[in-house]
A and B are shown apart, each in its own frame.
Chain A
Amino acid sequence: METTLAIVIGGLYAISFYLMLRRSMVKLILGLMLFSQAVNLLLFTAAGLTRGQPPIIPEGADALPVPFADPLPQALILTAIVISFGMIAFTLALTRRAHSSLETDDLDQLGRSERP
């Protein structure tokens, strides 16, 4: 399954890179969102996959039953998901504001508006 996921991750990366290179603001945001998914999956996969064994100590036991899914990358990804949500929310608001102020969706136009 790792091999499959590696291909999925590479694909997500490729598509997100392509989207981030577009001139449209909305596409840039789409790219960013896919990008954070890809990064999270990369972390998740690279740490090693363990099927169906969440790192939760069963009631009554005093240790995790081996094997268990690695909890550390999960904690990292959890943080990353939330942070990327904050980032996306901010970018969306920024886009909305930029569009209402500058009346364009084209990032190249945006660059020109910076200069007097």
Chain B
Amino acid sequence: MLTVLITIFVLAAAAPMLHRLLRGATGWALALPVVAVTAWFATLVPAVSGGEVILESRPWVPALGLDLAFRVDGWSLLFLLLIAGIGALILIYAGGYLHGHRHEGRFFGFLLLFMGSMLGLVAADNLIVMFIFWELTSFSSYLLIGFNHEETKSRAAALQALLVTGGGGLALLAGFILIGQVGGTFSFSALLENADVLRHHALYLPILLLVLAGAFTKSAQVPFHFWLPGAMAAPTPVSAYLHSATMVKAGVFLLGRFNPLLGGTDVWHTVVTGVGAATMLTGALLALPQTDLKRLLAYSTVSGLGTLTLLLGIGTTLATKAAAVFLIVHSLYKGALFMVAGAVDHETGTRDVRSLGGLFKVMPITALAAGAAALSMSGFPPLLGFISKELLYEAKLAAPSGAMLITAAGVGANILMVAVAIIVGFRPFHGARQLPAKPMHEPPLALWLGPAVLAALALVAGLFPSLVDRPLVSAAVSAIRAKETTVELKLWHGLNLVLLLSVVTVLAGVFVYFLRQRCRALAARLAPVVRFGPERGYELGLRALTAVAAGQTRLLQHGYLRGYVLTVLGVATVLAAFALVRFGPATLWIGFEDVRIHEVAIGVLVLAAALVAANARSRLAAVVALGVVGYSVALIYGLYGAPDLAVTQILVETLTLVLFVLVVVHLPQFSTLSSPRRRRWDAAFAGVAGLVITLLVLKALHVESGERVSQYFAENALRAQGRNVVNVILVDFRALDTLGEIAVLSVAALGVFALLKLRPGARKEDR
């Protein structure tokens, strides 16, 4: 598995270069290895459908318990096949669609990056690895949606998708971390062995909600559905890939993956079923009035994702079966229809269904593929869509609670889907030719191959359901239910309620199709209401965020050094005061018994000189006062057994004073700049801060810090050939620190030189 992923990522990196070499053939060339990967996945089918789970693990960051672990069970394998198989077709399709585009090579790179992330996501066993791939899909889809980056609309849509799915990703990460805490491991396989631990833990609800937030944002569930139609700004191959087979299904994958760990509870049923049903209806209702082929399909995808979520929410064996089959069906027909929409757009230059018609004569193969896909979408026999719809109704009717409600919602949504299928799959190809007679022809092979293959698959699988039921669906259902389940699909279920519902659905769908004009008019009248939807919330949130950011930047980054200094010093003082109150012994070290008069005199001298320096009107007086402070401090060092410090202090003080005098003569006389009120305020703050420090020192003197490292230095100084312990520390025990110190001085010296000697003006003259 790792080899496959690395191959795909390497291909992604190499794609732009390959494109420079191969030009028009790049799509075909890149599809080859992907087809090989698909074939390899297909060879895993017999083993996996036999109940085997393929595990692969490689240590990555062992210290964190992080392994590059992969787990291929039935549910993963189903996704792997869809992702790689449809991915290969999309690569070919993209080669035709974007032929001659300026950044075609880059596009292939993004597409492969996305494919690799998606494969990694569905195969990952370690939750952290899964999350990393999850984020990679968000990231690469950002690049894909914003591919036409010159357009404001594309950029906004890409950002919207990234923020919504990225936000969900954060929730997911939090959920995963909680799972790791509760379950004691990040390995999905290990968690599966104690599946009930999570369900009975106090943190179950937060975990569930966080994971669901991740899944719902990714799978565009209400109220996060709005980013998906926006993402239609991407080139059509992206829409076909991301919005049929992959990215949006990642959320569904997650639901299925975590069903054995988190599913089966009342909360799960209520939330997942409810959100799924709401999404299913919302998507279907919003789809019908659309006139843009891609937007029609986008909203119908929202509806389809809602259906999948709903089924996983119901969670019965039957519902899970229906979900697995519908997943395949949906990927096949949606991928095909998107590619058809792109092909039509490519040939005619428009995607508006109102101005399309009679294209069958011009592009019969595309029309046939579109028709077959649309039939599958509306659940017509003998396509796989029919089997899926039968199963869907069966599962909904048998739902443990709210069966009637769910079924009614399902029938309603499906009726609308039938109408949408007719609009997308038949309307553009039949009837009168409406486009201006410009020379149009069948799109090239690359553009019709994808839809044709997918539509053919839907037909073949419908006729021979045994091709998919045992090998794929059984294993997938077993993985979701975490117990062995065998699925057998049949085209003909007999005359029963379910069949009746199917017939009603199709007839009503055709009826709604003829009412579509009126629906559009109604939708136009309702548009002002719809504008208050969740998308508006997103916009407001985004605007509020930038406003807060700008406000706090203005507040904190005001550009006055004094303010910054005050903030830093104030915070430091408050923290010190807090430490003073909160920690350490309660008593202060106060004692004057050991006082010597000359030492007190030095202390008084220091303070007096510092005060003089602070209030000096003349610069020279300030410098002299500063010198007094420095030399007095040196005296204190000398008195208390630190001759080295005293000597260094005297030397440095002298140098500093010389420097200061040299510089200060070039500066103007002191002038009073602040107002008296300001000065009083500062003085009060400084006084309080000084008091806090004094108290801190008095308290610190009480703290015994246990064994001192100095003892070690004192005992071993002689072994380092020195009698002055301070010197030995500097040049021997802590020699690296001293080296760092020298480096700092050198940098400072360079800086001083640059500041004094280099003139930007002079450089200009040099040029």
Residue ranges of A at the interface with B (Cβ–Cβ < 8 Å):
1-30, 33-34, 37-38, 40-42, 44-46, 48-59, 62-64, 68-72, 74-75, 77-79, 81-83, 85-90, 92-97, 99-100, 105-108, 110-112, 114-115
Query: Is the beta-carbon distance between B667 and A114 smaller than 8 angstroms?
Result: no
Using an 8 Å CB-CB cutoff, how does the interface string of B721-738 with A read, 1 for contact, 0 for none? Answer: 001111001100010011
In the bound complex, what is the Cα–Cα distance between A94 and B749 (angstroms)? Answer: 12
In the bound complex, what is the Cα–Cα distance between A18 and B522 (angstroms)? Answer: 71
- Residues in A neighbouring B734, C-beta threshold 8 A: 75
Query: Is the beta-carbon distance between B614 and A18 smaller than 8 angstroms?
Result: yes
Q: How far is the CB of B427 from chain A (nearest CB, A)?
A: 58
- CB within 8 Å for A27 and B744 given contacts A10-B694, A69-B641: no
Max chain B Cβ within 10 angstroms of own Cβ: one of A78, A85, A97 = A78
- CB within 8 Å for A23 and B562 given contacts A52-B639, A83-B745: yes
Knowing that A10-B694, A78-B730, A88-B659 are A-B contacts, what are 15 other residue pairs whose CB atoms are under 8 Å apart, sorted by A's residue number?
A2-B591, A3-B591, A10-B691, A57-B718, A69-B640, A74-B726, A77-B642, A78-B644, A78-B645, A79-B741, A86-B744, A86-B749, A97-B755, A100-B666, A114-B559
Contact of B648 among A24, A63, A82, A94 (CB under 8 A): A82
In the bound complex, what is the Cα–Cα distance between A58 and B591 (angstroms)? Answer: 32
Contact of A72 among B640, B710, B715, B738 (CB under 8 A): B710
Query: Is the beta-carbon distance between A90 and B726 smaller than 8 angstroms?
Result: no
- Residues in A neighbouring B744, C-beta threshold 8 A: 83, 86
Query: Is the beta-carbon distance between B596 and A21 smaller than 8 angstroms?
Result: no
Q: What's the tally of chain B residues with a CB closer than 8 Å to chain A?
A: 97
Q: 5 A-B Cβ contacts within 8 A?
A: A8-B607, A34-B626, A54-B642, A59-B723, A95-B667
Query: Is the beta-carbon distance between B697 and A1 smaller than 8 angstroms?
Result: no
Query: Is the beta-carbon distance between A3 and B589 smaller than 8 angstroms?
Result: yes
In the bound complex, what is the Cα–Cα distance between A37 and B674 (angstroms)? Answer: 26
Query: Is the beta-carbon distance between B641 and A55 smaller than 8 angstroms?
Result: yes
CB within 8 Å of A: which of B40-70?
none
- CB within 8 Å for A74 and B614 given contacts A11-B690, A17-B569, A57-B725: no
Query: Is the beta-carbon distance between A52 and B745 smaller than 8 angstroms?
Result: no
In the bound complex, what is the Cα–Cα distance between A72 and B626 (angstroms)? Answer: 27
Query: Is the beta-carbon distance between B670 and A24 smaller than 8 angstroms?
Result: yes
Contact of B697 among A42, A69, A88 (CB under 8 A): A42
Query: Is the beta-carbon distance between B560 and A10 smaller than 8 angstroms?
Result: no
Query: Is the beta-carbon distance between B600 and A4 smaller than 8 angstroms?
Result: yes
In the bound complex, what is the Cα–Cα distance between A13 and B610 (angstroms)? Answer: 10
Max chain B Cβ within 10 angstroms of own Cβ: one of A25, A53, A79, A88 = A79
Residue of A nearest to B717 (CB): A57
Q: How far is the CB of B190 from chain A (nearest CB, A)?
A: 49
- Residues in B neighbouring A21, C-beta threshold 8 A: 562, 565-566, 569, 682, 685-686
Query: Is the beta-carbon distance between B714 and A64 smaller than 8 angstroms?
Result: yes
CB within 8 Å of A: which of B637-652?
637, 639-645, 648-649, 652
In the bound complex, what is the Cα–Cα distance between A70 and B700 (angstroms)? Answer: 16
Residue ranges of B at the interface with A (Cβ–Cβ < 8 Å):
559-562, 565-566, 569, 589-592, 594-596, 599-600, 603, 606-607, 610-611, 613-614, 619, 622, 626, 629-630, 633, 636-637, 639-645, 648-649, 652, 655-656, 659-660, 663-664, 666-668, 670-671, 673-674, 682-683, 685-687, 689-695, 697-698, 700-701, 708-710, 713-715, 717-718, 723-726, 729-730, 734, 737-738, 741, 744-745, 747-749, 751-752, 755-756
Query: Is the beta-carbon distance between B559 and A14 smaller than 8 angstroms?
Result: no
Q: How far is the CB of B553 from chain A (nearest CB, A)?
A: 14
- CB within 8 Å for A88 and B726 given contacts A71-B714, A74-B645: no
Query: Is the beta-carbon distance between B641 and A93 smaller than 8 angstroms?
Result: no
In the bound complex, what is the Cα–Cα distance between A41 and B690 (angstroms)? Answer: 14
Query: Is the beta-carbon distance between B562 and A26 smaller than 8 angstroms?
Result: no
In the bound complex, what is the Cα–Cα distance between A71 and B691 (angstroms)? Answer: 28
In the bound complex, what is the Cα–Cα distance between A60 and B734 (angstroms)? Answer: 25
In the bound complex, what is the Cα–Cα distance between A55 and B671 (angstroms)? Answer: 47
In the bound complex, what is the Cα–Cα distance between A108 and B643 (angstroms)? Answer: 42
Q: How far is the CB of B718 from chain A (nearest CB, A)?
A: 6
In the bound complex, what is the Cα–Cα distance between A24 and B649 (angstroms)? Answer: 26
Q: How far is the CB of B706 from chain A (nearest CB, A)?
A: 13
In the bound complex, what is the Cα–Cα distance between A54 and B637 (angstroms)? Answer: 10
Contact of A75 among B610, B726, B747, B749 (CB under 8 A): B726
Query: Is the beta-carbon distance between A111 and B640 smaller than 8 angstroms?
Result: no
Contact of B663 among A1, A6, A93 (CB under 8 A): A93
Contact of B613 among A17, A25, A30 (CB under 8 A): A30
Contact of A68 among B559, B641, B649, B729 (CB under 8 A): B641
Query: Is the beta-carbon distance between A18 and B714 smaller than 8 angstroms?
Result: no
In the bound complex, what is the Cα–Cα distance between A63 and B718 (angstroms)? Answer: 8
- CB within 8 Å for A34 and B629 given contacts A13-B690, A26-B664, A96-B663: yes
Query: Is the beta-carbon distance between A78 and B648 smaller than 8 angstroms?
Result: yes
Contact of A90 among B655, B671, B714, B752 (CB under 8 A): B752
In the bound complex, what is the Cα–Cα distance between A68 and B715 (angstroms)? Answer: 12
Query: Is the beta-carbon distance between B594 and A1 smaller than 8 angstroms?
Result: yes
Q: How far is the CB of A51 from chain B (nearest CB, A)?
A: 6
Q: How far is the CB of B703 from chain A (nearest CB, A)?
A: 9
Query: Is the beta-carbon distance between B660 and A13 smaller than 8 angstroms?
Result: no
Query: Is the beta-carbon distance between A30 and B663 smaller than 8 angstroms?
Result: no
Contact of B641 among A42, A54, A88 (CB under 8 A): A54
Query: Is the beta-carbon distance between B686 and A85 smaller than 8 angstroms?
Result: no
- CB within 8 Å for A7 and B694 given contacts A15-B610, A71-B725, A72-B729: yes
- Residues in A neighbouring B590, C-beta threshold 8 A: 3
Residue of B nearest to A28 (CB): B561
Contact of A1 among B599, B710, B756 (CB under 8 A): B599
- Residues in B neighbouring A93, C-beta threshold 8 A: 663, 751-752, 755-756
Query: Is the beta-carbon distance between A92 and B599 smaller than 8 angstroms?
Result: no
In the bound complex, what is the Cα–Cα distance between A15 and B610 (angstroms)? Answer: 7
Query: Is the beta-carbon distance between A12 and B659 smaller than 8 angstroms?
Result: no
Query: Is the beta-carbon distance between B592 and A3 smaller than 8 angstroms?
Result: yes
- Residues in A neighbouring B683, C-beta threshold 8 A: 18
Residue of B nearest to A106 (CB): B673
Query: Is the beta-carbon distance between B690 and A17 smaller than 8 angstroms?
Result: yes
Query: Is the beta-carbon distance between A83 and B641 smaller than 8 angstroms?
Result: no
Contact of B748 among A29, A52, A89, A110 (CB under 8 A): A89
Query: Is the beta-carbon distance between B656 and A33 smaller than 8 angstroms?
Result: yes
Contact of B622 among A14, A30, A52, A105 (CB under 8 A): A30
In the bound complex, what is the Cα–Cα distance between A94 and B468 (angstroms)? Answer: 76
Residue of A nearest to B756 (CB): A93
Query: Is the beta-carbon distance between B748 and A17 smaller than 8 angstroms?
Result: no
Query: Is the beta-carbon distance between B693 and A9 smaller than 8 angstroms?
Result: yes
Query: Is the beta-carbon distance between B666 and A55 smaller than 8 angstroms?
Result: no
- Residues in B neighbouring A11, C-beta threshold 8 A: 606-607, 610, 690, 694
Q: How far is the CB of B415 from chain A (nearest CB, A)?
A: 62
Contact of B659 among A83, A92, A97, A114 (CB under 8 A): A92
Query: Is the beta-carbon distance between A71 and B664 smaller than 8 angstroms?
Result: no
Query: Is the beta-carbon distance between A90 and B751 smaller than 8 angstroms?
Result: yes
- Residues in A neighbouring B660, C-beta threshold 8 A: 29, 92
Contact of B693 among A10, A19, A57 (CB under 8 A): A10
- Residues in A neighbouring B614, C-beta threshold 8 A: 15, 18-19, 27, 30
Query: Is the beta-carbon distance between B674 and A23 smaller than 8 angstroms?
Result: yes
In the bound complex, what is the Cα–Cα distance between A49 and B645 (angstroms)? Answer: 14
In the bound complex, what is the Cα–Cα distance between A58 and B723 (angstroms)? Answer: 7
In the bound complex, what is the Cα–Cα distance between A55 and B614 (angstroms)? Answer: 36
- CB within 8 Å for A96 and B697 given contacts A2-B589, A21-B565: no
Q: How far is the CB of A39 from chain B (nearest CB, A)?
A: 10
Q: How far is the CB of B206 from chain A (nearest CB, A)?
A: 46
In the bound complex, what is the Cα–Cα distance between A3 and B655 (angstroms)? Answer: 31
In the bound complex, what is the Cα–Cα distance between A28 and B708 (angstroms)? Answer: 37
Residue of B nearest to A97 (CB): B755
- Residues in A neighbouring B595, C-beta threshold 8 A: 1, 4
- Residues in B neighbouring A96, C-beta threshold 8 A: 663, 666-667, 755-756
- CB within 8 Å for A74 and B642 given contacts A22-B674, A23-B562, A30-B622: yes
